[in-house]
Structure 1
Amino acid sequence: MKVEIWSDIICPFCYIGKRNIETVLSQFPEAKSIEIEWKSFQLDPTFPQIATDNHEEYLAKRKGFPVEQVKVMLQNVTNTAKQAGLDFHLEQSVIVNSYNAHRLIQFAKTKGLGDEAEERFFKAYFTEGKDMANLEILTALGKEIGLDEEELQVAFTDNQYAEKVNQDIDEARAIGVTGVPFFVFDRKYAISGAQPPQAFLQALEKSFGEWQQQNPKAKLEVSNGESCDVDGNCE
């Protein structure tokens, strides 16, 4: 059963939501039957390609929030992240455009490394304060998760990966996504936001139960003969 997650790697609650659903999946008996697909989303496509402000400066200067209010807001987010086992350093996180990062994630998905890319990019941004619009940094992070340095450059030059990003964003609009994270279970149920693990468990149990009824495991009558097993025994 597929669970689709619309996410932006510069969204703190997307990282928190990722960890919360992972907590549920680690205890879910049928976790091997769940396929996670990451979908691209941009909170603000107008964010700059070159970093100028960190989170505190952006909220204070661009949004007009009082500095003390911003500090409290960011500390609350940091505390929420800590409850999910994450170490945020929002004072280091710089506001940049995430489009190139999404292109690389789309490429990583073709190599079966979409989840690894999401995880590494989230950590790089929220814990390590890396500039996630910088192509050299993105390339280095791609290499860390096992992508070939020369091959992954197509993520930034081949329009098919940009088109995949755009398709995800268009699809989000079509189904009414206005904020992330946004989780869709088997195209039947959805959860908006980084809700507690219990909320994910309820949605997962309900959607998987229905999916399982529609996709029952095959029960075969087997006539046994001479064969070899996976342990190398032949008899």
Structure 2
Amino acid sequence: MKVEICSDVVCPFCYIGKRKFENALKDFAHRDEVEVVWHSFQLDPNFQPTPGESTHEALAKKKGVSTDEARNMGAYVTKAAAEVGLHYDFDRTIPANTFLAHQLIHLGAHHGRQDATKERLMAAYYLEGQNVGDLETLVKLGAEVGLDATEIREALKAGMYANAVRLDEYQAQQINVRGVPFFVFEDKYAVSGAQPSELFAEVLEKVYDEFKPAKPAPVLVADGPACGPEGCD
């Protein structure tokens, strides 16, 4: 069963949604049959950070509110994150354009390390105050999850996965994704937002029951006298 998730590295509810989905998946009896695929989605593809500007100031500018109001928004999200064991620190976060970070996630997928790369980047941004828009920071973070530092640097400099990021974003537009996180189950059912783990659990069960693989017929390794509807051999 495939679950595809559109999200951004610097989307606070994307990290919260990741945890809530993971909590549901952890208790799902068929979790080993679930393939999770992350898709790129930039909340602000054209964002250019201003040196020295805090996340509170950047948010205030974007929303047209005061810095204090922006801090209150951050406090609300910080409380929601704490409920799933994530300790956000908006005073340390560094505003960044995530185009390079998404390319690193695609490189991670190429080496079977997509989820680990996604997790490392989100933790670096929200919990550690690292700059996920900086090339050398991304090289370091990618190496921490087992990727080759030289390959990371060369791939990001050359934009090897730039088109993969753009394709993800184009495909998100085609299915009318307007906000993230956005979860698609088996190309048929969708869940938008950081929903409760209980809801994710219900959807996993429903989708699995509907799309569960047919039990394969046993391989015949010996054939001998037997009885059937028409009688016995």
Match of 2:217 among 216, 219, 229: 219
SS of equivalent to 2:3: strand
Query: CA deviation digits over 1:104-149, x for unaligned, max 9?
Result: 1111100000000010000000000111111010000000000011
Partner of 1:127: 127
Q: Is the 8 A contact 1:50 1:133 kept in 2?
A: no
CA shift for structure 1 position 201: 1.1
Alignment TM-score, normalising by the size of structure 2: 0.90
Q: Is the 8 A contact 1:47 1:95 kept in 2?
A: no
Partner of 1:90: 90
Q: Is the 8 A contact 1:51 1:131 kept in 2?
A: no
Partner of 2:27: 27
CA shift for structure 1 position 50: 6.1
In structure 2, do the counterparts of structure 1 residues 3 and 187 end up closer, same or farther at CA, with 3 Å as the change threshold? same
Q: Which is higher, the Rg of structure 1 or of structure 2?
A: 2
In structure 2, do the counterparts of structure 1 residues 80 and 219 end up closer, same or farther at CA, with 3 Å as the change threshold? same
Query: CA deviation digits over 1:8-35, x for unaligned, max 9?
Result: 0000100000000100111000000000
Partner of 1:229: none
The amino acid across from 1:23 in the alignment is N
Percent identity (aligned): 41
The amino acid across from 2:198 in the alignment is Q
Partner of 2:226: none
Gaps of 5+ in 2: 223-233
Note the 1:190-209 alignment, pairs <5 A. 190-209=190-209
Size of the aligned set, in residue pairs, is 222
Gaps of 5+ in 1: 225-235
The amino acid across from 1:186 in the alignment is E
SS of equivalent to 1:220: coil
SS of equivalent to 1:153: helix
Alignment TM-score, normalising by the size of structure 1: 0.90
SS of equivalent to 2:161: helix
Partner of 2:227: none
CA shift for structure 1 position 219: 3.5
The amino acid across from 1:30 in the alignment is H
The amino acid across from 2:124 in the alignment is A
Partner of 2:60: 60
Query: CA deviation digits over 1:22-56, x for unaligned, max 9?
Result: 00111000000000000001000111266442221
In structure 2, do the counterparts of structure 1 residues 61 and 25 end up closer, same or farther at CA, with 3 Å as the change threshold? same
RMSD: 1.5
Q: Is the 8 A contact 1:51 1:94 kept in 2?
A: no
How far, CA to CA, are the matches of 1:4 and 1:95 in structure 2?
26
